[in-house]
Each structure stands twice: as C-alpha cells, then as structure tokens.
Amino acid sequence: MIEPCTLTAHELMRRLINKELSFAELLTSLKNRIRLFDNKINAYVRKNDVCSAASAAEISPSGLSIPVSLKDNICTKGNNTECCSKILAGFKPPYDATVVAKLKAHGLPIFEYKLNMDEFAFGSSTENSCFGPTRNPWDLERVAGGSSGGAAAAVASGEAIWALGSDTGGSIRQPASFCGVVGLKPTYGRVSRYGLIAFASSLDQIGPITKDVRDCAFLLKLISGYDPLDSTTKDIPVPDYTQSLDPWVKDIKIGIPKEYFVKGLDPEVKDIVEEAIEFLKKLGAKVKEVSLPHTEYAVAVYYIIATAEASSNLARFDGVQYGLRSLPKEGHSHEPRTVAMYKKTRGDGFGEEAKRRILLGTFALSHGYYDAYYLRALKVRTLIKKDFDRVFEEFDCIVTPTSPTVAFYIGERAQDPLSMYLSDVYTISANLAGIPAISLPCGFTKKGLPVGLQIISRPFNEELLLRVAFSYEDNTPWHTMQPYLKPPQEDFLGELRG
Amino acid sequence: MDYEIVIGLEVHIQLSTRTKVFCGCSTDFGKEPNTQVCPVCLGLPGVLPVLNQTALDYSIIVGLALNCTISEFSRFDRKHYYYPDLPKNYQISQYEYPLCQNGFLDININDQPKRIRIRRVHLEEDAGKLLHQESISLIDYNRTGMPLLEIVTEPDISSPDEAYEYLLLLKSIIKYLGVSDCDMEKGSLRCDANISVRRFGEKELGTKTELKNMNSFKAVKDALSYEANRQIDLLRQGLSVVQETRLWNPEQEITVAMRSKEEAKDYRYFPEPDLPPLYFKQEYIQKLKNRIPELPDKKYRRFLTEYNLRPMDAQVLVAERDDAEYAEQCLQRFKGKDRRIVINWLIGPLSSEANERKLRICQLNVSVEGFLNLLELIEQGRLSQLAAKQVLKEMINTGKGAQEIIKSRDLEQISDTTYLESVVAEVVASNPKTCQDYQQGKENALMFLVGQVMKKTKGKANPQLVQELLRNKLTN
C-alpha cells in the first residue's frame, strides 16, 4: 500500500476533496513515517519537545489542508524557532513569519515539528546543526546537502508532504538536488523575508521544496507577493504559477554557460546533465553555449558579502533578551559583567562554522579593510549581475548542474571549509544576481544517487522556470523515484506490540 | 586672550512623529517601561525595519529650513557596537550618504550676523534606557526606535556664547517647523560638543575633546567655558590636551574624562540591506519646501518693519511660533489708536500671566477678540490699567469676557465729568492747604489730590481725567 505521506500535495488534495482520504489519516500517515524513519534520517528537530504546539490540530480540514513543514529558521508564533543553534535554545517568536501567516490564511496547517538545518543556514551539508546531521534518504551514510537538508530529506522520504526552506547561496537547490526533489529559490523580493531569521539579508529568500514541479508552483503562489513588513519585496502582481505548467518549450532559448562545465564537475554528473539538456533540445528548445565570464569570482564575492551581513545580523544574539545566556563565574575578570556575558554566551552558543563566519565577516567590515573586501565584493557582484543581464537579452533561461557532485559522505568535507564552500559554486550566482532558479531531479548515478538540473531565469520570471522544469518533468520519470527505506526492526516490532 | 576657541556642536532631536521610525509602536513619552515595544523595535530574530515616511518628511523639512542641500541619493547604514540598550547591537543610522548636507544658520552676535555652517543632518533610531539598581541593571526599550535627527555643525563656533545663541535659534526653528518639542528635560533635544583651542593665527586645529552630559543650554555654555579654560591652562603650562570624551558634572561644574579615543570603537558601518536606498525627486522636495512656515529670523525682520517694533520686543514676540501668530493677529486686528498698547500688553501683563502659569500666551485661553476688547476698553478710558490687569487675570481664570467681568465686579472706570467734577470739588474743599501748595508751584501736591479723588471713587475714577479736572479747577 502506498503511504499517503509519500504522495504529492496535489494528489492528496484530490483525494481529500473526493473524500478518498481524511485529514486525520494523512496526519497519522505522516507521523508514523516520522516515527519509523526519522531516528535515522534526523530531518526534524525537537521531536520530543512538547512545547512545540500542534498547530495542525487547530485547523478545520479542507481540500487545501496539506501540512507544510518549515525549516527551523522560519518563525511561528509561540513555537520554538532556533535555527538549529544552541544560542537560540528555547526561543519562541511572539509572531508569525509573513509566509506562515499567508499559509494559515489559505487554510494550510503548519506542521508541528521544524526541519533540521545547518546552524543559521551556515553550511552545505546540514552537518553544522546543533541537533546532529540529517542523513540522505538515498544513502544514509551521505549528507542530505544543506543548509535546508532537513527539508529536502523529509520531502524525499515522505516525512513531509512539502516544505519551505531558505536559500542564501544554494541552500534550497543543492539539498533538493542531493535528495532528488524539486527546490526553487524565488527572485529576491518575490517572497517576504519577514520572520525569516536572517543569515545574509541581501541574498536570503524563502522558497518551496516539493516532490514535483506542480506542487512547487502551487506553494510558490501561496507565499509570494509584496509585504508591507518587508521593504525589499516588490509590488509586482503574483501570477497563478500553476497556469504556467504547460509542457511546451518549443523555441525557448536556453543558454549553457561554458564556465559551469569545467574542472571540478563530476564526470558522471556532467554526463547526466548534458543528457538532460539534449532532451530539452529534443522537446524543441533552442540550446546554445553562452559565457558568464565573472563566474570564477562568485564564491569569493559571496563569502565576503554573506559573512559580512551575517556578522551584523548575528550581533543581536547576546544573551540579553532571549535564547541562551551564559554567565561567567564571578570574581576573576576586569571587564564589565555584560561584556563577560556577551563573550561567554556567544562562545558557548555558536558552533564552529558560525564563529568562523562571524570572524570572517567582522574582518571584512573592519576599518581599513572595508574598501578592499566588502566594497570590492559589491563591485564584482554588479559585474556578475551584468553577466546574467547580457545573457538574458538573448536567452530565456540558463541551464546548469545544480551541484558539481552528488551527495558526499558525512564527515567527508567537514574538516575542509573551502571544499565545502565550493559545493555552492553553481548556485551562488543566482543569489548574488537576485534572480530565480529551480533545481529538479534529472537522473541518477550508477550508485543510485540523484542528480539535479538547475534552471535560472531573469527577475520575476518564475513562470518560465516552472514551464521549462515542468516540460522536462512531464516527459521524464525521475521525480517519481522514491528512496527505499528499511523499517528499523525494533521499532517495527514495537509498532506491532503497540 | 591669546587663544582662540573652536567649537562644533552635535545636536540630537527626537522627531515628534506618532509612531517610531522603523515600526508602528507609539512614541508617547513617560509610559510604563517596555509597554511601547514590538518584535521590530525589540530587534527580535527575523524582523525587518520599515521606514516611517513622516520621519523622513520631517528630516528633510529640517534640512531645508537649515539651508541644506537635500541629497538626491541617500541610504541607511548599520553602526555596530555592543550595548545592552541596543537590542540588535547595531543602530540603523546614516554614514556616507546623509539626507541633508552643507547648510548654515546665521546667528546674531552683538547685533552682527555670524554664519554657522551645518555639515550634515541625518536620521537614525534611538536606543533604549538602562536603569541601574544596586546589583542589577534593567532595560526600558520604550525609547528604542524613536526617530532621532542628528544635526552636526562645522567647527565654526568661536565661543560658548555663540554656542548658546546657535542652540536657541536652532531650537526655535525646529519648534517653528513643528517636528519636535525640543524638550531637553524629556531628552527630545540632546547636545554634545567638540571643543579645541589654538593660538590666534594658527592654521592647524588643536586637539579636541568631546563633551557630553549637558542637560540644558546653560549647561552647554558652562561646560564649554570650563573646558576652554581648562585646555588653555594646560597649553599655557606647556602640557597638551588629550583627545577624549569628557562628562559635564553639573554639581561640581567641571568636566571629567570618560574614555579616551585610543579605545575608540570600529563601528564597521555598512549599507543596511533591509532598507532600499532612497532617491528623491525634485517634486517631492518642493512639496516639503511648501510646508515650511515663515521662520523666526524672517518673521523678526518683518515684524521690525511692518509693525515698527523695537528689536527687543520683536525678538520676544517671535520666539514661539504660535505666540508670534497670536501676537500678529492682535496687531492686525486692533482697531484702536495706538498699537503700542497691544505690544506693551502682549509683552507685559499677558506674558507675565503666562510665565506665572508656565504656559505660553496662546495657551492662556484668551481669544484675540477678547484680548483686543480689553485693550479697547482701556483706550476708551473705561478701564484703568490696574483694573484691566485684574480683569485679565479673571478672564484667564474663568474664560469670561471683559465686559461681563467689569459689569459683575463693577470695575468700570468713571469718566463721567459731571460726577467727577463734584468729587473734585469736594476734595478741593476739604484740602485747602494742599491746593494752595499746588497753586504755589508744588506740582507733586496735585498727585495727593488725585489720590484723594481715587479714594473717594474706590479707584474707579479715570486718573487722567481727574488730573485734568483738578488742574482746571485749581488754575481757574
């Protein structure tokens, strides 16, 4: 029997409306799945925390009642939202993020557990979570990607119907690629950031992680739009993205950036992505090689801008108002008690990667270094943006691999920050340019690991992204593949006895 | 004195918008601690600032009134420092691109105009307040996020008196604009000063100190005087001034070192990514320009020529905008013979009544008509100056009109010649000796006789008329 929780949201909506399935059955299926498998996968955090209120129970079920799971950096009123960081332990926001308010207004329940992530979204593997790494459902020895690794793993394993993640440099697309699901980073300003605990304010966007492109279009429609609480959102009408799900790419002009198919790209991933491009050609798309000459600077520029903004955004975690407060023992310090409290709280509360990024960012903004680092990075960011503008004068979209590799082993890159940073090399530019990009599954390696295809388009042209993605998906089987998960023996017996 | 003083002032003004600068919280003063707060001004994780348009309008109006250039492009920056009253541990402020730059104010020093250049005017958010108790400190975030306008001069001020005059004029202008109450006691106007001294003729500026904790304009003047003397003394002794921040101690009337600039912080300014940059169109600036009322210096000059006022009187009358408007209405609508009575009564009795009540004259609830009516009664000789002051007091206390009060209290001045002649006759008859004295040239004797008439009429006789009648009677 197919578990309801492994189905797409649009299929579940159909069943709910036709009364083939009840909301209670759906919720039970989801919770059983989590009980069976999440001890291994670790997609959700604080599962035993009775404090996180079951908001799913509060709603009156309707055809739209498909629970949405949220990354641990999206605020929900009264529910713990901790960014998987010790420093935010116990933080219950007194308000809902705008995306949450929008979902609730449409009658969608918010799932009670939050999804695992790299601490403050700092990472590409979800290994930097204070709750331990999320495992990839396709191979439990491998990472789920990151930072929205919990979201991608949960959707891939049927532990979530769909989810919202956040993407600062690839944090939605790369884990979606590693876990064989669909992930979309909207145009900067398309979705409100109000209530998203900020990593890098000029790069962050909330976006959907779903089982297929149709679900992605549906969820994007619900969360998009101008928000008076976020001055960086744009007052541009939100189209009905589900209307763009037309499998028609004839004469769509696709650019393939040559700078993305170079050393560092796994040959197997390269072959699979090139095959996907060939397939798009067969569907009628016009494909041509293009150049994004400043691509090689993207990682450097990103890590200056993102860490600079992060160092500022994270300054507020000081033990004064909320979260962790560590007080040093009295007596042996010459400095004021508050300063000692800041140091101890931040020292105890932040993980290694958070500390590294705060230091990097603080340095980049320091007097005497600002011009050489931050200001120069801003200038190169403009050049990167212009690269895209130029290509989009002629082309409708750009197609690339989402990540240079498939999911790597847990621990493999943990000691080498640079190699970890390079796993974002194909996703970072879309954030720097503020443009939309989607990742969708386009095949599997010999070892059975999913590969993601990335499509990038011009600002506020999510419709085209979804159309090209849907055309591909509609003619390929990849999105229907689901990982086989062996139920743990003990739990299984426990189930029988219970 | 062989030393010259160089002063620059940094004034912070809390704008009187209804809500805070980046959120919808109320700006009411004096509420219970932490009752005017929300996730945004508390800087909770995930929140974003949204700029208050009124605060922006007010800031630009001030810039225009201070003759500044309004930047076509402006933006906000984050200024980082750790302090418990600053919830985000950065302040949203402006660094490279302030809203307004390169303005000036002309102050009057010994009847000579002196130009003080304004370097910049920028908008930022205020911090909270720390309340220190024995072993703990408490934080009140009500003030956090109040809109604060920083106005910085060039080092053009050459004496504590000039600093004082600048502050008076600045405050008067801001109050005219109606964008702040400029109440130093409530902290809605704060002033810090930079001061250095150098030998006359020297080109290089001396080492400066920064003065803080001055809670009145007088304190600014006193602190600057003290500090100038302290620095000059040091230099005379061959010692040097240390660059540092010093606090004014109003009890001991000295400045005390707080922290030296060697420990100066690196604020790590960078553009606030949560607020889009600002671009101003000419139409917008023009619209704000049209909202600027006639400012005190212009009004002062106009009052001098239009109403023939003495400089002293004009200065007093223009100090507060609504008082000046009240005064002007009185002057314009007065139908009597001599305007001087209006000016004298505005500056005299009406102002003293206001001062007594710690109010301004326009707050006394005396309508322009009512006030002019009173003055006309005086001019017509129906009310003595003394009685009029009594009537005015009662008008303020009861809100009644002058006529009504006069009637009910029987205060009307007696100018009935026939009746007064009879009283004069009585007085002359019963004081032959004094009358003789007067007739022999003792002018003062007449005053005694006037007093006698006043006594007999219970103070209600028109004294001018009585004098005239007495004179006529005694000389004929």
A369 touching chain B per CB within 8 A:
no
Query: HSE (CB half, 13 Å, CA atoms) of A87?
Result: 28
A447 against B464, higher pLDDT: A447
Kindly determine whether residue B46 and residue A83, on different chains, have CB atoms separated by under 8 Å: no
Give the minimum alpha-carbon distance from B50 to chain A in angstroms, rounded to a whole number.
6
Give the integer Cα–Cα distance in Å for A117 and A173. 14
Residues of A in contact with B42 (CB under 8 A): 321
The yes-or-no answer on residue A147 being catalytic is yes
Residues of B in contact with A315 (CB under 8 A): 80, 82, 88-90
Q: What is the DSSP track for A385-451?
A: HHHHHHHHHH-SEEEEESSSSSPPBTTTTTT-HHHHHHTTTTTHHHHHHT--EEEEEEEE-TTS-EE
Q: What is the DSSP track for A425-444?
A: TTTHHHHHHT--EEEEEEEE
A316 touching chain B per CB within 8 A:
yes
A94 touching chain B per CB within 8 A:
yes
| Contact in structure between A78 and A92 (CB atoms under 8 Å) | yes
Q: Residue A210: beta bridge partners?
A: A182
User: What percentage of chain A has pLDDT greater than the value 90?
Assistant: 86
What 3-state class would DSSP assign to B21?
coil
Q: Measured between CB atoms, which of B46, B82, B275 is closest to A198? A: B46
Specify the pLDDT at position B119. 98
Q: Which of A230, A312, A362, A376 would you mutate first to test chain B, the one with the most B CBs within 10 A?
A: A312
Q: State yes or no: pLDDT of A132 exceeds 90.
A: yes
Beta-sheet strands, E only, within B206-276:
209-214, 244-249, 254-260, 270-271
Tokens standing for residue B40: 């945004």
Sequence-distant (6+) residues with CB within 8 A of B442 are none
The residue count of chain B comes to 476
A226 touching chain B per CB within 8 A:
no
Handedness of CA B71, B77, B81, B85 (dihedral sign): positive
| Contact in structure between B317 and B89 (CB atoms under 8 Å) | no
Confidence bin at A53 (pLDDT 50/70/90): very low
State the average pLDDT over residues B269-292. Answer: 97
Handedness of CA B368, B371, B373, B378 (dihedral sign): negative
- Cβ burial of A497 (10 Å; 0-12, 13-18, 19+) is exposed
Give the minimum alpha-carbon distance from B129 to chain A in angstroms, rounded to a whole number.
14
Q: Which of A71, A104, A185, A221 is catalytic?
A: A71
Taken in order of first residue, the domains within chain A and their CATH numbers are 4-295+380-497 (3.90.1300.10)
pLDDT digits (tens, 9 = 90+) for B331-344: 999 988 888 899 99
- Calculate the CA dihedral of residues A304, A308, A311, A312 and round it to 10 degrees: -170
Give the minimum alpha-carbon distance from B128 to chain A in angstroms, rounded to a whole number.
13
Give the integer Cα–Cα distance in Å for B236 and B239. 7
Confidence bin at A51 (pLDDT 50/70/90): very low
Token pair 């017509």 is found at B380
Tokens standing for residue A188: 């900067």
Range name among A125-139, B215-229, B364-378 with the lowest pLDDT average: B364-378
The residue count of chain A comes to 498
Kindly determine whether residue B46 and residue A362, on different chains, have CB atoms separated by under 8 Å: no
CA angle A426, A432, A433 (to 5 degrees): 100
Q: Residue A257: beta bridge partners?
A: A290
User: What percentage of chain B has pLDDT greater than the value 90?
Assistant: 64
Interface contacts (A, B; CB < 8 Å): 101
Q: State yes or no: pLDDT of A227 exceeds 80.
A: yes
| Contact in structure between A369 and A363 (CB atoms under 8 Å) | yes
Q: Residue B154's closest CA among B13, B5, B3, B9?
A: B9
State the average pLDDT over residues B233-245. Answer: 93
CA angle B223, B225, B226 (to 5 degrees): 65
Kindly determine whether residue B266 and residue A230, on different chains, have CB atoms separated by under 8 Å: no
| Contact in structure between B468 and B387 (CB atoms under 8 Å) | no
Handedness of CA A337, A341, A347, A353 (dihedral sign): negative
Give the minimum alpha-carbon distance from B88 to chain A in angstroms, rounded to a whole number.
4
A196 touching chain B per CB within 8 A:
yes
Q: Looking at chain B, which residue has its C-alpha nearest residue A364?
A: B268
Q: Measured between CB atoms, which of B89, B268, B270 is closest to A316? A: B89
Confidence bin at B379 (pLDDT 50/70/90): confident
| Contact in structure between A427 and A402 (CB atoms under 8 Å) | yes
pLDDT digits (tens, 9 = 90+) for B360-377: 888 888 999 999 999 988
Q: Residue B4: beta bridge partners?
A: B198
Taken in order of first residue, the domains within chain B and their CATH numbers are 3-288 (no CATH), 296-409 (no CATH), 417-475 (1.10.10.410)
Q: Which of A70, A194, A334, A341 would you mutate first to test chain B, the one with the most B CBs within 10 A?
A: A194
The yes-or-no answer on residue A171 being catalytic is yes
Q: Residue A123's closest CA among A297, A310, A265, A385?
A: A310
pLDDT digits (tens, 9 = 90+) for B286-317: 999 999 999 998 999 899 999 988 888 888 88
CA distances from A105 to A8, A114, A236 (A): 21, 20, 20
Q: Which of B51, B270, B272, B279 would you mutate first to test chain A, the one with the most A CBs within 10 A?
A: B270
Confidence bin at B413 (pLDDT 50/70/90): confident
Confidence bin at A26 (pLDDT 50/70/90): very high
Q: What is the DSSP track for A34-101?
A: HHHHHHHH--EE-TT-TTS--GGGGSPP-TT---EEEETTB-BTTB---TT-GGGTT---SS--HHHH
A309 touching chain B per CB within 8 A:
yes
Q: State yes or no: pLDDT of A419 exceeds 60.
A: yes
Residues of A in contact with B79 (CB under 8 A): none
Give the minimum alpha-carbon distance from B39 to chain A in angstroms, rounded to a whole number.
7
Q: State yes or no: pLDDT of A54 exceeds 90.
A: no
Query: HSE (CB half, 13 Å, CA atoms) of B64?
Result: 21
Q: Measured between CB atoms, which of B39, B80, B275 is closest to A231? A: B275
Give the integer Cα–Cα distance in Å for B58 and B85. 26
CA angle B403, B407, B410 (to 5 degrees): 130
Q: State yes or no: pLDDT of B226 exceeds 70.
A: yes
Q: Measured between CB atoms, which of B48, B268, B274 is closest to A365? A: B268
What 3-state class would DSSP assign to A142?
strand
Kindly determine whether residue A231 and residue B51, on different chains, have CB atoms separated by under 8 Å: yes
B371's enclosing H/E stretch is: helix B368-379
pLDDT digits (tens, 9 = 90+) for A159-199: 999 999 999 999 999 999 999 999 999 999 999 999 999 99
CA distances from B315 to A319, A481, A494, B172, B298 (A): 54, 86, 91, 11, 11
Kindly determine whether residue A367 and residue B266, on different chains, have CB atoms separated by under 8 Å: yes
Specify the pLDDT at position B235. 94
CA angle A105, A111, A112 (to 5 degrees): 120
What amino acid is encoded at B33 in this protein?
Answer: P
Q: Which of A199, A365, A382 would you mutate first to test chain B, the one with the most B CBs within 10 A?
A: A365
Residues of A in contact with B89 (CB under 8 A): 315-316, 318
Give the minimum alpha-carbon distance from A328 to chain B in angstroms, rounded to a whole number.
16
Token pair 């503008």 is found at A389
A230 touching chain B per CB within 8 A:
yes
Residues of A in contact with B90 (CB under 8 A): 312, 315
Q: What is the mean pLDDT of chain B?
A: 92
End-to-end, the C-alpha distance of chain B in Å comes to 68
Kindly determine whether residue B276 and residue A195, on different chains, have CB atoms separated by under 8 Å: no
Q: Which of A91, A188, A199, A313 would you mutate first to test chain B, the one with the most B CBs within 10 A?
A: A313
